[in-house]
Amino acid sequence: MFIFFMDWKPIETAPFDRDVELAVIDGAGVHALTFLCRRVFGGWMNAESKKRVYYLSPTHWRDRSLELSVSTACSEAPGAGAQALTQRLAAIHRNASRVGNP
């Protein structure tokens, strides 16, 4: 199965309007957080619990929405056949091509 993985971007460019995956660098290396976060004024919050995440100094971010949408489409389509999956993936691709284009 093909899954499109987005590249990591500098933390300074992280958006305020969507949930993103964060990475931190510490003495043991680079680590991606196990939960999605949303940038808020003065820091970050856990996207699911909506609680502020303190003492977090992320260095990079990436948009997981396309990757998660593809994963969801694949899990929803087991009995629906290849045509339904192809249509769902085409819709995801159309929406992804609009990201960043007002």
Domain locations along the chain: 10-63, 65-102
**Alpha-carbon span 28 to 11, nearest angstrom:** 19
pLDDT number for residue 64: 80
pLDDT number for residue 41: 93
Q: State the alpha helices, DSSP H only, in the chain.
A: 65-76, 81-98
Q: pLDDT per position in the chain (102 positions), as tens?
A: 333 445 889 999 999 989 999 998 888 888 899 999 999 999 999 999 999 999 889 999 998 865 554 444 445 545 545 555 555 555 555 555 555 544
| pTM exceeding the 0.75 threshold for the entire prediction | no
**Alpha-carbon span 7 to 100, nearest angstrom:** 15
